[in-house]
Amino acid sequence: MELFPLSSVRLENGLFKDAQETAIRYILALKTDRLLAPYRREAGLPAKAESYGNWENTGLDGHMGGHYLSALSLMTAATGNQLIKDRLNYMLGELKRCQEQDPDGYIGGIPGGKEMWKEIRDGKIDAASFSLNGKWVPIYNIHKLFAGLIDAYYYTGNEEAKQMVFKLADWWLGIFGELTDQQIQTVLASEHGGINEVFADLAQISGNPEYLRMAQRLSHRAILEPLEDGKDELTGLHANTQIPKVIGFEKIGALSDSLSWINAARFFWETVVGNRTVSIGGNSESEHFHSRNSFEKMLSSREGPETCNTYNMLKLSKALYLQHPERKYIDYYERATYNHILSSQHPGTGGFVYFTSIRPNHYRVYSQAQLSFWCCVGSGLENHAKYGELIYSHKGKDIYVNLFIPSTLNWEQGGIKLHQETRFPHGTASELTLEIAEAETFSVFIRKPDWLEGQHVNLLVNGKNMSYKEEGEYIQINRRWEGKTLISFDLPMRVRAEFLPSGEPWVSYSYGPIVLAAKKGTEDLKGLFADDKRMGHIGSGALLPMDKNPILVAPDQDVAGFVHTLDAGNLRFELDHLCQGNAEEKITLQPFFSLHDARYTLYWRVADRHSLDSINREAHLHEQRQLALDSNMVDLIALGEQQPEADHHMQQEETYTGVLGDYHWRGGPGWFSYELNNKNQSAKAIYIKQIPDAVSCYELTVDGQLLRKEKQLANTDGSIIVVFKLNAPLARRDKLQVKVSACVDKETGKVVEIRLLK
Ligand SMILES: [Zn+2]
C-alpha cells in the first residue's frame, strides 16, 4: 500500500479543518528566533533573541526547534500556506548558518553538546534512562532535529534540508562509528527517540547501506529481542521511550527484508493496542506501561495516557498498514485520531494536552504558546497538520478510502480527482465524487469499519443501488470509470460499550468510533492553562473522591442498552441505570473530543445491585486513605521515573533504577538527592517509602542536616514507610535538598517514593 503525497490532499470544512487552522495560529504564534536561540548559542553565534523557558532552557534546549521543522513541513504540504512555508525557509537558512560554523557539520541545541559527543566518541559513557553523560536525553533531543530536516525534504522537497541532514549524519557517523556494538547498546539505555528510524530514512533516501548499518546498530536489543520472541515485557517501562524504537524496527525490517524485526513491531502493536490501550486510543499511566492485568493505577491517577505515545502509535500503525494493509490498523488509527489526538487540542487557544487523565471526574491542562515547551507540545505541533495523510491510500491504480473526513484528493499522476463530502460523525451519509481525465478500469475500496459490527452498508453509484464485493473488510467497487461518478453510502452508527482490556468492570461508551464522555463540574481546575513551571503539565487541582462517582447498576452485561440517543445530529446521548448512594441518576454524554474546560468521566464502574454496598464501603475506605495523603502532601517524587526525577533536579552517584511489580525504585551503594519544594513552608515531615531488603540501610540528610527516624509503618504489600520530622529552621525553607545515602558497606534499598507532608 502506498500513501498519496500529503500535498495532494486538502481538508474541507469540518472538525479536522478547524483543528488544522487552530494549529496554524499556534504555530505562527511561536517566535522562530527564540526557538533558534539554543542553536545559535551552541554554534557560537551572537544571540538574536532570548531562548524560550520551561523545557527549552533546562537541558532539552532545541528539541522544540526540531519538532517545529517537522510541523512547518507537514503544514506546508497539507495547506500550501505561504506564511508557514516562509517560516520553514527562514528556519532552514538559520540552521544552515549554525552548521557552517562547525567544521564537522554538527548542529544542536544541547547545552555543551559538542563536548559531550566527543566524550561519547572517546568511549566515556555514562547512560541512565533519562540522561547521557549528565545531559537530559540528548539523543532524544537531536533525533527531533534529524526528523525535522528529513521532513523538510520529504514533505516539501527542500534540497538544502537534505544536504544539511546528510552532513549532520556524517558527523554522527564520526562519533558513533568509533564505538563498539556493546558501547552503543550501553548508550541506548538513555531515551533516544527514533534515532534508529531516521538512519533508516537516510538509507532509504540515499541508498547508502552505511546508514542502514548504523540504523541497525542504533536499535536497542534489550527491547527488540523479547518482542522478536513474542514476549510482552513492557510493564514498568517508560512508554514513549519504547514506541519510537519499534517504529525504527519496522522500518529497518522492511528495508533489510528482516521478517523477525517486522514481526517484533507487529507483536508490539498487537499487545499495546489489544492489552494496554483504553477507549480513546491512549496507553500508560504517568508515562509508564502499567500491569496488563490491572488498570487501577490509571483509573485513580491524575496522569493518564500521554499524547506523544499516541502520536507515535499512529506513526507505527501507518507504517504497519503500508506493509500489511489490514483494516485493524486503520480502525485503531481512526479511534485514536478522533478521541485522543483531536481532543488533545484546545479549540480556542490551540493549547496542547500532555496527560489525559482517565480518573473519573478529573480534568486536563493545556499548554500556552509562549510558556509551555513539553514533549507533547512538540508532537502536538505536528499532530494537527497530518490529518490528510491516511484518508486515502493506493495500491497501484486502486484507491482506498480509509477515513470519513471531508476532503479532496487531487492525484495528478493518476489523472484523478476524488472529492469526499460528509458530515460524519454528525451524520451517517457520505458522498464521493470521482473525476477522471481518461476512462480507465480499476477499483475503489471503501473501508467497512470494525464499529459497524457487520451491519450492511447501502451503496449507490450514480444514484443506482449497487451490490458489491467485500475484499479484506473493504467494499470493492470495480468498474470502468469515466468522466464524473457519484458514489453514495451510509455508515450506520450505534452505541457500543467497551470494557477495559483487562476485563475489570469498568466500561466506556462509543457511538460508532466516537468515544462519549460526561461533562462534570468546573471546580478547582487549577492550572487549566499551564504556566511555565516544571510540573505545569499536570492537572494539580483537587482529586475528587472516586467513591462519590455514580456506579452503573447492571443486572447482566448488556450495558450498551443503557445509553439512549437524545440527538444524533448533535451527538447527544443519555446514560441511565446510574446509582449514586440510593438515588438513580441520568447523565448526558457527548463526544470526548468536544469536551473542554471541565472535569469529565470517560469510564464507569459496573456492578450488580447485590455487591453495591460492599463496593461502596471498600471504595470509601480506599478513597479516604488516598485523599488524606493527597491533601497532606506538599511535594512528591516517584523515584526511578523520568519526569519526576528530572523535575526535582536529581543528582546521584552509584545508584540505579528498576521496577518491582508496579513499583519503580532507585537505590544502590551510593547516594541520591532531590530538591523538594516546600510550598508555603507548610511541610512538617518527610515520608520515605521503600521496599526493604537484607542489605538496606540509609541516612537521610536535609540541607546537610542528619534527620532522625520518627516512626516506621509497614504496608501489606511488603513496602515500609519511614517518617522523619523536619526541625523548625528547615521547615522555614522554600527548597529542601533531600539526600539519601547508603550506610557504609550497605545499600540504600529500593526507594519508591519521597513525600513532603504537612
Ligand atoms: Zn509527550
DSSP 166: H
Q: Is the dihedral of CA 458, 463, 465, 469 positive or negative?
A: negative
For cell 544552515, the residue is 96
Q: What is the pLDDT of residues 148-172, one digit of tens each?
A: 999 999 999 999 999 999 999 999 9
Q: Residue 477 to residues 444, 473, 630: CA-CA distances in angstroms?
A: 5, 13, 59
Residue 714 grid coordinates: 509497614
Residue-level pLDDT at 102? 98
Residue 563 grid coordinates: 445509553
For cell 450495558, the residue is 559
- Measured in angstroms, how far is the CA atom of residue 702 from the centroid of ligand 1? 32
Q: What's the mean per-residue pLDDT of the chain?
A: 94
- Measured in angstroms, how far is the CA atom of residue 379 from the centroid of ligand 1? 7
- Measured in angstroms, how far is the CA atom of residue 493 from the centroid of ligand 1? 32
- Measured in angstroms, how far is the CA atom of residue 353 from the centroid of ligand 1? 9
Cβ-Cβ contacts under 8 Å for 328 (sequence gap 6 or more):
450
Does 329 have pLDDT greater than 70? yes
- Measured in angstroms, how far is the CA atom of residue 374 from the centroid of ligand 1? 7
Does 258 have pLDDT greater than 70? yes
CA gap 267, 244 in Å, rounded: 15
Provide the percentage of residues in the chain whose pLDDT is more than 90.
Answer: 82
The DSSP bridge pattern shows strands 135-136 and 685-691 to be unpaired
CA gap 452, 590 in Å, rounded: 20
Residue-level pLDDT at 542? 86
CA gap 18, 345 in Å, rounded: 11
What distance, in Å, lies between the first and last C-alpha atoms of the chain?
A: 59
Amino acid identity for residue 382 in this structure: E
- Measured in angstroms, how far is the CA atom of residue 351 from the centroid of ligand 1? 13
pLDDT tier for residue 544 given thresholds of 50, 70 and 90: confident
Looking from the CA of 390 toward its CB, the CA atoms found within 13 Å total 24
- Measured in angstroms, how far is the CA atom of residue 536 from the centroid of ligand 1? 13
Q: Ramachandran region of residue 645, left (φ > 0), alpha (ψ -120 to 50) or beta?
A: alpha
Q: Is 310 exposed, middle or buried (0-12, 13-18, 19+ CB in 10 A)?
A: buried
For cell 467494499, the residue is 475
- Measured in angstroms, how far is the CA atom of residue 130 from the centroid of ligand 1? 14
DSSP 257: T
- Measured in angstroms, how far is the CA atom of residue 309 from the centroid of ligand 1? 7
Q: Mean pLDDT, to the nearest integer, of 349-364?
A: 97
- Measured in angstroms, how far is the CA atom of residue 246 from the centroid of ligand 1? 17
Residue-level pLDDT at 545? 82
Residue 293 neighbours by CB distance under 10 Å: 12
- Measured in angstroms, how far is the CA atom of residue 378 from the centroid of ligand 1? 8
SS3 684: coil
Residue 670 grid coordinates: 551510593
Residue-level pLDDT at 625? 77
pLDDT tier for residue 126 given thresholds of 50, 70 and 90: very high
Q: What is the pLDDT of residues 260-295, one digit of tens each?
A: 999 999 999 999 999 999 999 999 999 999 999 999
CA gap 234, 135 in Å, rounded: 25
Looking from the CA of 484 toward its CB, the CA atoms found within 13 Å total 5
DSSP per residue, 298-309: HHH-S---BHHH
- Measured in angstroms, how far is the CA atom of residue 310 from the centroid of ligand 1? 9
Residue 656 has phi, psi (to 5 degrees) of -145, 175
Partners of residue 215 on adjacent β-strands: none
- Measured in angstroms, how far is the CA atom of residue 305 from the centroid of ligand 1? 9
Residue-level pLDDT at 646? 85
Q: Is 60 exposed, middle or buried (0-12, 13-18, 19+ CB in 10 A)?
A: buried
CB 214 within 8 A of CB 199: yes
Residue 198 neighbours by CB distance under 10 Å: 30
SS3 291: coil
- Measured in angstroms, how far is the CA atom of residue 252 from the centroid of ligand 1? 24
Q: What is the pLDDT of residues 716-741, one digit of tens each?
A: 777 889 999 999 899 999 999 999 99
Residue 424 grid coordinates: 460524519
Residue 438 neighbours by CB distance under 10 Å: 8
Q: Is 570 exposed, middle or buried (0-12, 13-18, 19+ CB in 10 A)?
A: exposed
For cell 477499483, the residue is 443
- Measured in angstroms, how far is the CA atom of residue 307 from the centroid of ligand 1? 6
- Measured in angstroms, how far is the CA atom of residue 240 from the centroid of ligand 1? 8
- Measured in angstroms, how far is the CA atom of residue 238 from the centroid of ligand 1? 11
CB 307 within 8 A of CB 315: no
CA gap 129, 640 in Å, rounded: 9
Q: Is 209 exposed, middle or buried (0-12, 13-18, 19+ CB in 10 A)?
A: exposed
- Measured in angstroms, how far is the CA atom of residue 625 from the centroid of ligand 1? 30
The angle subtended at Cα 14 by Cα 12 and Cα 20, nearest 5°, is 75
- Measured in angstroms, how far is the CA atom of residue 344 from the centroid of ligand 1? 11
The angle subtended at Cα 321 by Cα 316 and Cα 324, nearest 5°, is 120
Looking from the CA of 45 toward its CB, the CA atoms found within 13 Å total 23
Beta strands (DSSP E) in 53-204 are 127-128, 131-132, 135-136
pLDDT tier for residue 235 given thresholds of 50, 70 and 90: very high
- Measured in angstroms, how far is the CA atom of residue 402 from the centroid of ligand 1? 27
CA gap 321, 316 in Å, rounded: 8
DSSP per residue, 471-538: ETTEEEEEEEE-SEEEEEEE----EEEEE-TT--SEEEEEETTEEEEEE---TT-TTSB--SSTTTTS
In this structure, of 134-148, 460-474, 536-550, the range with the lowest mean pLDDT score is: 536-550
- Measured in angstroms, how far is the CA atom of residue 287 from the centroid of ligand 1? 8
SS3 content of the chain, % helix, strand, coil (to 5): 35, 25, 35
Residue 320 has phi, psi (to 5 degrees) of -65, -40
Q: What is the pLDDT of residues 181-218, one digit of tens each?
A: 999 999 999 999 999 999 999 999 999 999 999 999 99
Q: What is the pLDDT of residues 387-413, one digit of tens each?
A: 999 999 999 999 999 999 999 999 999
CA gap 214, 128 in Å, rounded: 21
Beta strands (DSSP E) in 18-153 are 127-128, 131-132, 135-136
Cβ-Cβ contacts under 8 Å for 692 (sequence gap 6 or more):
720, 749, 750
Instruction: Walk me through the domains of the chain, giving residue ranges and CATH numbers.
Output: 219-344 (no CATH), 392-422+429-490 (2.60.40.1180), 495-609 (no CATH), 633-757 (2.60.120.260)
- Measured in angstroms, how far is the CA atom of residue 308 from the centroid of ligand 1? 4
pLDDT tier for residue 140 given thresholds of 50, 70 and 90: very high
- Measured in angstroms, how far is the CA atom of residue 747 from the centroid of ligand 1? 34
Q: Is the peptide bond before 692 cis (omega within 30 degrees of 0)?
A: no
Q: What is the pLDDT of residues 626-668, one digit of tens each?
A: 778 788 889 999 998 878 888 899 999 988 888 776 678 899 8
Cβ-Cβ contacts under 8 Å for 146 (sequence gap 6 or more):
66, 165, 168, 169, 195, 198
- Measured in angstroms, how far is the CA atom of residue 439 from the centroid of ligand 1? 48
Amino acid identity for residue 752 in this structure: V
Q: What is the pLDDT of residues 24-33, one digit of tens each?
A: 999 999 999 9
Cβ-Cβ contacts under 8 Å for 563 (sequence gap 6 or more):
495, 497, 509, 516, 573, 574, 575, 589
Does 454 have pLDDT greater than 90? no
DSSP 752: E
Residue-level pLDDT at 662? 66
- Measured in angstroms, how far is the CA atom of residue 61 from the centroid of ligand 1? 15
For cell 523548625, the residue is 728
Does 92 have pLDDT greater than 90? yes
- Measured in angstroms, how far is the CA atom of residue 339 from the centroid of ligand 1? 17
Q: Ramachandran region of residue 586, left (φ > 0), alpha (ψ -120 to 50) or beta?
A: beta
What predicted TM-score, i.e. pTM, was given to this entire model?
A: 0.89
For cell 492537572, the residue is 539
CA gap 68, 62 in Å, rounded: 10
Does 692 have pLDDT greater than 80? no
Q: Mean pLDDT, to the nearest integer, of 684-695?
A: 86
Residue-level pLDDT at 557? 63
CB 494 within 8 A of CB 573: no
- Measured in angstroms, how far is the CA atom of residue 537 from the centroid of ligand 1? 10
- Measured in angstroms, how far is the CA atom of residue 555 from the centroid of ligand 1? 40
Beta strands (DSSP E) in 557-661 are 563-567, 572-580, 583-591, 600-601, 604-607, 633-638, 651-653, 656-660
Q: Look at the chain and count its residues.
A: 758
CB 314 within 8 A of CB 341: yes
- Rg for the chain, CA atoms, rounded: 27
Q: What is the pLDDT of residues 595-608, one digit of tens each?
A: 999 999 999 999 88
